[in-house]
Amino acid sequence: MIEVENLRKVYGSTAAVDDVSFKVERGDILGFLGPNAAGKTTTLRMLTCYLPPTSGTARIEGFDIFHDSLKVRKKIGYLPENVPLYQDMRIRDYLDFVARAKNIDAADRKASLNKAIGQCGLGDVENGIISQLSKGYRQRVGLAQALIGEPEVLMLDEPTTGLDPRQISEIRDLIKELGQGHTVILSTHILPEVSMICDRVIIINKGKLVASDSVEGLTRSLTKSQMTQINVKGDPDGIKKILKEVPGVLAVDKKHEMDLAGGGNVYVVHSNIDSDVREEIARAIVRGGFGLHEMRPYSLSLEDIFLMLTNESPVERRRLN
């Protein structure tokens, strides 16, 4: 469906995107992650033929972004980070304008508008003026314009930016539904969104691709030790000292979380990958006179993975010190 090969975009002496390659299968919802200025938006703009790459290429449904750009654009619905809305127009009039700009046949235009309006839950406000809509509804209008013409591929750049939690949940559910009939690339800073929506994850950092896999696959490949999360009440320095003396324990990280009800702190204990030290941990805590409130297995979250791969992990920095 989408094949990206050695894509590169250079501004002066700076490579905003540097030799990026990946594939997206038909029907996938791909999470496209990276820190600010990592190259995500630049990559999407090249894939949508808005920007020409310096080198490399990409194919959408077999059409090359260099040689078949008009055919590529017909395959794509694009929601940029700043939604391109005409504030003084009514929703239906605006979507009709978009349909005409996309050169949709007059015979198919009304059906296409009605379908996009229905998919995005705009039926009750379709005659309203865009400037009078809430931010959440303006995002829905932006998604509707991307859906006009029923493109096979949707590229969504930060679709929930600036929304409140309820609006984020609504847009998230809508993207899930759209993923049933479209291939979706979702660029976002909100990591829980990716965990809940996406089949696969791509992480880009400083213009380079640093990971491409499912969250589960990344977790397996990056887990180098067995991890146990514990909640213990007592002096943190004393707790860390006795835990580090347990045979098989490699490191102990104190997390920022705290059990406000019981007054304990949360720690992650790293041990040899093939050893189970939970009983020894419990005995050491009890012998030390500390209060063990909870113990459970710990696995890397998408946030942990993101921070590790972009060299921003406080956990990794603590383990190296």
Domain that holds residue 175: 2-214
Which 3 state secondary structure label does DSSP give 284? Answer: helix
278, 184: one domain: no
29, 79: one domain: yes
201, 294: one domain: no
What tokens does 75 get?
């395959």
281, 154: one domain: no
Does a structural domain hold residue 304?
no
Does a structural domain hold residue 284?
yes
Residue 223 phi/psi, 5° resolution? -80, 110
Domain count, the chain: 2
Does a structural domain hold residue 310?
no
105, 30: one domain: yes
Q: Packing angle between helix 135-147 and helix 91-101, nearest 10 degrees?
A: 30
Strands (E), the chain: 2-11, 14-24, 29-33, 55-60, 63-64, 76-79, 153-157, 183-187, 200-205, 208-213, 226-233, 249-259, 264-271, 291-297
Tell me how crowded residue 30 is: count the other CB atoms within 10 A of its CB: 25
234, 182: one domain: no
Strand order in the sheet with 249-259: 249-259, 264-271, 226-233, 291-297
Instruction: Note the pLDDT of residue 262.
Output: 65
156, 277: one domain: no
201, 255: one domain: no
CATH of the domain at 41: 3.40.50.300
C-alpha–C-alpha distance, residues 151 and 71, integer Å: 11
- Token pair 């990592």 is found at 38
197, 267: one domain: no
Q: Packing angle between helix 106-119 and helix 165-178, nearest 10 degrees?
A: 130
Instruction: Note the pLDDT of residue 318.
Output: 40
Does a structural domain hold residue 305?
no
Which 3 state secondary structure label does DSSP give 182? Answer: coil
Instruction: Note the pLDDT of residue 82.
Output: 85
pLDDT in tens, the chain (321 residues): 899 999 999 999 999 999 999 999 988 999 999 888 889 999 999 999 999 999 999 999 999 998 999 999 999 999 998 888 999 999 999 999 999 999 999 889 999 999 999 988 899 999 999 999 998 899 999 999 999 998 999 999 988 877 788 888 888 888 888 888 889 999 987 787 788 888 899 999 999 999 999 888 888 888 888 999 999 999 999 999 999 999 999 999 888 666 656 678 999 999 998 888 999 999 999 999 999 999 999 888 888 888 888 875 444 434 433
Does a structural domain hold residue 59?
yes
**β pairing state of 291-297 and 226-233:** antiparallel
205, 251: one domain: no
Does a structural domain hold residue 314?
no
Does a structural domain hold residue 307?
no
Instruction: Note the pLDDT of residue 317.
Output: 38
205, 263: one domain: no
Does a structural domain hold residue 133?
yes
126, 240: one domain: no
